[in-house]
Amino acid sequence: MLFGMDIDNAPQPQTRIQRLKTLTDGTHQQLDQRIMSADPFGSRARYALFLRVQHQFHADVAPLYGSAELNRLLPGLAERCRLEALQADVEDLSGSAALPLEGQAGALDVPQALGWVYVAEGSNLGAAFLLKEAAKLGLSDAFGARHLAGHPAGRGLHWRNFVAAFNALPMADNEEMQAADGARAAFRRVHGLVDEIFG
Ligand code: HEM
């Protein structure tokens, strides 16, 4: 105790990822609600629409996962890319080859790109719940819902590794704000895709 203050119980400053989460909580919640109200697990046909949303979004972020600069900042980023799993899911459901999709994220500076990557990686955390819903349609991490699977080493551990690397990146305050802009743009992109594809 120092001057009557219990240091152990003093509030800890937020980490960068916690700040990003706080800044995007509202848009994440709106997106969750929008997706669930579109009944994506009501049937395999509805789920196929959800897959189209995910497929396009992961095609958008795939170039970021492949970027040499971002892999230098976040080693192993390329292996986290879920585009191939999505292509396989689309093929499982449709029974035919998935058309390659062009990414539409446009030119992003590094901090903004990191914001997009945060959203794509974080979405795998929430995917645990979505995988359970997909299982009710007979889909699994081996058929139709591969992209929702956790990492073999554990979904939580895989996320925590990402969080640790992300929090350790040297980033000025204004760059962190740009990352938050990138994250919000990524959420808006997915929201737009849901509106476009589910109608
Ligand atoms: C109906 C759809 C969705 C539901 C129900 C959902 C649910 C969740 C849940 C429960 C978590 C927290 C998991 C945990 O702390 O253990 C989470 C995290 C997250 N989700 Fe979603 N999610 C959905 C869709 C999405 C989509 C489409 C995206 C973006 C493309 C997304 C981005 C994120 C991010 C970035 C996080 C990490 C937040 C953080 O801890 O920093 N989610 N989601």
* Amino acid of residue 25: D
> Whole-model pTM above 0.75?
yes
Asked if the model's pLDDT at residue 4 lies above 80, the reply is no
| Closest residue to atom 41 of ligand 1, CA basis | 21
Residue with tokens 């916690």: 18
Per-residue pLDDT reduced to its tens digit, 53-85: 999 999 999 999 999 999 999 999 999 999 999
For the residues 117-138, what does the mean pLDDT come to?
97
Q: Which residue ranges have their beta carbon within 6 Å of ligand 1?
A: 17, 21, 28, 31-32, 35-36, 57, 118-119, 122-123, 125-126, 129, 190
Of the candidate ranges 2-11, 39-48, 70-79, 124-133, the one whose mean pLDDT is the lowest: 2-11
Residue pair 115/182 in contact (Cβ under 8 Å)? The answer is yes
Angle of CA points 120, 170, 182, to nearest 5°: 35
Ordered by where they begin, the domains of the chain are: 40-198 (1.20.910.10)
| Closest residue to atom 4 of ligand 1, CA basis | 32
* 96 compared with 3, residue with greater pLDDT: 96
Q: Going by C-beta distance under 8 Å and a sequence separation of 6 or more, which residues neighbour residue 90?
A: 48, 51, 52, 55, 98
